[in-house]
Amino acid sequence: MRATFQRPADRQQSVCVRRCRVPNVSQWRELLAGLLLAALTISIASADPNPNRILLPVEVLGADSTIVSRTIILPAGQAESVRSLWLQINGVRYAEQASVQVNSSAWVPLRNDTVTIAEPGKSFGGIGGFATLTISLALPSGTVVDGTNTIRFRFNQTDGVASGYRVLAWNFLALDGTKIIPADAFAEDAPETWAPPLPDATSIQAGRELWANASLVASSRQNSPRIQAHCADCHAQDGRDLKYFNFSNESIVTRSVFHGLSTLEGQQIASYIRALQFPNPGRPWNPPYQPGPGLDEQPVSTWAAGAGLAWVLDRDVDALRFIIRQRGAAKNRAAQVSPNSVVDPRELAKDITPGVFRPDGNLNPREIPIALQLPDWSQWLPVVHPKDAWGASFTQSEFAALYDGKRKVGATTPLRTMLVDAQTTEHNTRPVVAGFAHWSQSRRTFLRHQVKANTVWSPALTSKVYSTQLWQLVKTWEMMQEFGLEGRGRDILGATADSRTWCNTIPVETAPSASFIPDGAAGVGGSALTNEYFAASWYELQVVLNSGNHQHQDRSPIDWTYLIGRFLDLYGQTHRPEPTRLLVAVTKALQSTDPHLGPDNLRRGWRPDDNIDPRILISPVWAPIFKPLPKEVHRALTGALLAAWMEKNLQYSMGQYLPLGLPQQSYTAPRAYGEISGGKVWESAQRFRDAGVNPDLIDSLLQWGMEFTDRAARLQYH
């Protein structure tokens, strides 16, 4: 049961479900659908704690042509200043999914060519990219009137996946962008006021049984086929995800009906979810693990709720102060600013020191906001379950068996069995890492058997492959939550690990590129841009959840050269540079190895020729990414990165870098990604001079390079 929208519809005294013209047969159907939705709302909604205000969000969900309306009264003389309708809207994922009408004006379908989409959402594909967008719709003069105004939101039709959307906020805008309706006219719905629709124990138990075992259909479309999957298969097995992210009773009922159950059965499932005794800090529209300041001050049980949409920045450069705030003098200043307050980056230049990039340090990406909106929970959920996608080849596979714990796979203990043992500190938790790694390998093996090298990709095949990866991600979240693993990093990974971390690489393995899903019409989302957006999102999630914990081995858990190189691929689609998010990744790449291991440890030690190097800041290939930075900031960053890199290099003797019998490199950085790894950094000394780097630092680089070249020549090492 895949939920694509969430939370109770907003209830206000004047809820209108009528049309403003004489209805034809189709319109009568819409009217009846609206009346049914209103009746359903009355039966399952929580009481409005602010009866005189408009409750948000507005949930527009149900059958095709469902209409939900809201009414606002404007004082005399105010309407003439209205120029547009402003919406923050979640879950509109394709053109023509939704339409809006203001008073008796024409219905306007929401498409990229009918509305103005705010950045950064516009650059990431608009509708079909970010799950939540801020949009505005121009209104002809006279559309809004003094007195009563009615805004209608319509869910036009399903694509076989969606069953609605939500309006998180709305307002009228004046010509200068000022919001006409005061903020105190609206109120946020409060999940703590929600109750089970059917609170008796019998109904709750029935909901539990339905969650685990109810027979479902694929969608609400006519003649939709039965599917093998149950609710618990695509979601967390105990339903905790719907509780954690506060999916409303109404959304659960609607989604149950979408999958072929009755309204009563949907109410029973909603009652079961409501009665669960799990933490519930999240919201369906707030992307899981979205980074932002203050997250680590909260209990680990709230981490998955993320910092919220408020901390998705409008401009990437506004995040620079949050990198610097983790070091010294700028910390207090940065801590006082709001998410999208504009700070001149040049004011930060004097606070940029080598300590920002120190390889032996531990920059915290969980606390640094970004201008990339990560996928919301609905975008985590698989569209099709692997057993419906692949049939018996999945259900009888090692990949499936390693998760469910119902049978042993050779000598390997299934993950859930292993995690039961790891719940207590008396048991050895170290096998958990190997267990997840084995499960990842089993997925790769499974998909290789399903998708051959010469396979022609299609949207249907992409959906099956990508859904299989999403299923593994959801089940990983389920197990991390159920077994309390997110706060046991040091138990599982050792003393160098963050206490708050995942112990696997499954987020990055969810990226479309992990299974070679191509850009273009067959890509996720149907375009190169959306395919690259989702790839970037899952890579970023890996950086937030597990960037290596100073335990890098070869190219695991992250191939940093590849991950960072993908910034160029994404920029090629969005034309929106992200220098700060890139610098976080560069810093975490430098900090991925154990500070106590030198370059003589070829797999786990500091190897500057195998990692990202400071040339990324002076490379012409990468110059467009750093273009938003003022010159003095770019100069300070370049000098600081080079100084930090050199300080680390000089900790070790040249004999440790180039010992006798050093094997030749078997890995070469992809040439398409430019000058960022694997080369002779000292040969770029002139570019560092041109960038304004301290001459003494450049002399140190050249001296080190001469010693390196000298020894390499004597040992005949190339």
Which is more confidently placed, 665 or 200? Answer: 200
CA dist., res. 557 & res. 542, Å (int) = 9
Output the pLDDT for position 245.
98
pLDDT-derived band at 553 (thresholds 50, 70, 90) equals confident
Please compute the mean of the pLDDT values over residues 489-514 and round it to a whole number: 90
Q: Would you say 308 and 286 are in contact if contact means Cβ atoms under 8 Å apart?
A: yes
Which residues are CB-contacts of 387 (< 8 A; sequence separation ≥ 6)?
A: 228, 229, 233, 394, 395, 400
CA dist., res. 441 & res. 256, Å (int) = 34
pLDDT-derived band at 658 (thresholds 50, 70, 90) equals confident
Output the pLDDT for position 428.
67
Which residues are CB-contacts of 106 (< 8 A; sequence separation ≥ 6)?
A: none
Q: Over 50: is that where the pLDDT of 7 sits? A: no
Q: What is the DSSP letter of 518?
A: P
pLDDT-derived band at 614 (thresholds 50, 70, 90) equals very high
Output the pLDDT for position 83.
97
Q: Would you say 520 and 527 are in contact if contact means Cβ atoms under 8 Å apart?
A: yes
Give this prediction's pTM: 0.90
Tokens of 668: 């070469």
Q: Over 50: is that where the pLDDT of 547 sits? A: yes
Tens of pLDDT, residues 80-109: 999 999 999 999 999 999 999 999 999 999
Output the pLDDT for position 717.
67
**Which H or E run includes 395?**
helix 392-395
CA dist., res. 503 & res. 435, Å (int) = 10
pLDDT-derived band at 408 (thresholds 50, 70, 90) equals low
**62 phi-psi bin (left φ>0, alpha ψ -120 to 50, beta other):** left
Output the pLDDT for position 25.
37
Q: Over 60: is that where the pLDDT of 391 sits? A: yes
Output the pLDDT for position 281.
97
Tokens of 622: 């990468």
Which is more confidently placed, 141 or 553? Answer: 141
Across all residues in the chain, what is the average pLDDT? Answer: 88
| 3-state SS assignment for residue 581 | helix
CA dist., res. 267 & res. 273, Å (int) = 10
Q: Would you say 100 and 85 are in contact if contact means Cβ atoms under 8 Å apart?
A: yes
Output the pLDDT for position 675.
78
CA dist., res. 31 & res. 17, Å (int) = 7
DSSP per-residue letters across 345-392: GGGGGGG--GGGG-TTS---GGGS-BSSPPP-HHHHS-SS-HHHHHTH
The one-letter code for the residue type at 617 is L
Q: Over 50: is that where the pLDDT of 591 sits? A: yes
Please compute the mean of the pLDDT values over residues 19-31 and round it to a whole number: 38
Q: Over 50: is that where the pLDDT of 19 sits? A: no
Q: Which architecture characterizes domain 25-174 according to CATH? A: Sandwich (2.60)
- Where are the alpha helices (H) located in 201-278, listed in sequence order? 201-213, 231-234, 240-244, 249-258, 263-275
**Angle value at C-alpha 557, between 553 and 562, nearest 5 degrees:** 100
User: One fold for both 25-174 and 193-275?
Assistant: no
Output the pLDDT for position 16.
34
Which residues are CB-contacts of 205 (< 8 A; sequence separation ≥ 6)?
A: 272
**Nearest 10 degrees: CA dihedral of 308, 312, 318, 322?**
40
Output the pLDDT for position 103.
98
Q: Over 70: is that where the pLDDT of 213 sits? A: yes
Half-sphere exposure of residue 481: CA atoms within 13 angstroms, side-chain side: 25
Tens of pLDDT, residues 415-469: 988 888 777 656 667 789 999 999 999 999 999 999 988 889 999 999 999 999 9
Tens of pLDDT, residues 313-367: 999 999 999 998 765 434 444 445 677 666 676 778 889 999 999 999 999 999 9
- Residue spans per domain, the chain: 25-174, 193-275, 295-367, 377-505
Output the pLDDT for position 344.
72
Tens of pLDDT, residues 140-156: 999 999 999 999 999 99
Which is more confidently placed, 52 or 329? Answer: 52
**Which H or E run includes 534?**
helix 528-545
Q: Over 70: is that where the pLDDT of 528 sits? A: yes
Tens of pLDDT, residues 662-704: 666 544 555 555 678 888 999 999 999 999 999 999 999 999 9
Q: How many helices (H) and strands (E) does the chain have?
A: 24, 13
The dihedrals phi and psi of 366, each to the nearest 5 degrees, come to: -65, -25
Query: Percent of the chain, pLDDT > 70?
Result: 87
- Burial class of residue 338, CB neighbours in 10 A (0-12, 13-18, 19+): exposed
Tokens of 561: 């050269």
The domain 193-275 is placed in CATH, from the list 3.40.50, 1.10.3470, 2.60.120, 1.10.760, at 1.10.760
DSSP per-residue letters across 600-632: TSTTTS--GGGSB-GGGGT-TTTHHHHTTS-HH
Tens of pLDDT, residues 616-645: 999 999 999 999 999 999 999 999 999 999
Q: Over 60: is that where the pLDDT of 8 sits? A: no
Please compute the mean of the pLDDT values over residues 114-142 and round it to a whole number: 97
